[in-house]
């Protein structure tokens, strides 16, 4: 089973996420189930399952995506899926980079740019906002990202530079 972990700058609707995920992995929107952490009903027969959780800080949503091994042809790797989702949804999509630091991410922009990013979890209140949502900050990027104008632009050497 393929799995993806994404963070997005914007918060698309569940329906928009289903359509974008379907296009990104090569299935129909009816084959995708997207649910918030508070939703009890799931379509467990769907070949793509996505849990989404609202975030606070610089990022709006965390996505946990599982793609069934029945999907043919096989779905793209996480980097390519992030680029496809960014283009389809018009939002910057971040995914973890290989390496030893949990702050190491790649950012994929709607216009097809991939750049390294440093994502920090935390903030005041033990890493949660007043509504109990995890707080994430995009501290730095290697190339300027229009949807992350507050992030410093600097070289990031936290993880391997491939991905």
3-state secondary structure the chain: CEEEEEEECCCCCHHHHHHHHHHHHCCCHHHEEEEECCCCCCCCCCCEEEEEEECEECCCEEEEEEECCCCCCCCCCHHHHHHHHHHHHCCCEEEECCCCCCCEEEEECCCCCEEEEEEEECCCCCCECCCCCEEEEEEEECCCCCCCCCCEECCCCCCCCCC
N-to-C CA span, the chain? 20
Please give the pLDDT value at position 161.
Answer: 47
Unique residue bearing structure tokens 């980079």: 97
What is the structure's pLDDT at 123?
Answer: 56
Q: What is the mean predicted confidence (pLDDT) over 156-161?
A: 62
pLDDT band, residue 2 (cuts 50/70/90): confident
Average pLDDT of the residues in 143-163: 81
Question: Over the stretch 52-96, which tens digit does the pLDDT of each residue have?
Answer: 999 999 999 999 999 999 999 999 999 999 999 999 999 999 999
In this predicted structure, what is the pLDDT of residue 53?
Answer: 93
Tens-place pLDDT, residues 3-52: 999 999 999 999 999 999 999 999 999 999 999 876 667 888 899 999 99
Instruction: Report the pLDDT value the prediction gives residue 41, as an integer from 0 to 100.
Output: 76
């Amino acid at each position: 089973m393929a799995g993806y972990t994404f963070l997005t700058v914007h918060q698309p609707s569940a329906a928009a996420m289903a359509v974008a995920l379907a296009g990104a992995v090569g299935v129909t929107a009816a084959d995708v189930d997207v649910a918030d952490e508070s939703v009890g009903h799931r379509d467990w027969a769907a070949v793509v399952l996505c849990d989404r959780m609202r975030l606070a800080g610089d990022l709006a949503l965390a996505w946990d995506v599982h793609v069934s091994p029945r999907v043919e042809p096989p779905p793209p790797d996480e980097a390519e899926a992030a680029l496809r989702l960014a283009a389809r949804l018009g939002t910057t999509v971040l995914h973890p980079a290989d390496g030893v630091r949990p702050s190491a991410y790649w950012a994929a922009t709607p216009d097809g740019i991939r750049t390294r990013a440093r994502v920090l979890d935390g903030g005041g209140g033990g890493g949660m906002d007043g509504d109990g949502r995890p707080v994430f900050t995009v501290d730095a990027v290697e190339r300027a990202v229009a949807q992350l104008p507050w992030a410093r632009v600097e070289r990031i050497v936290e993880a391997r530079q491939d991905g």
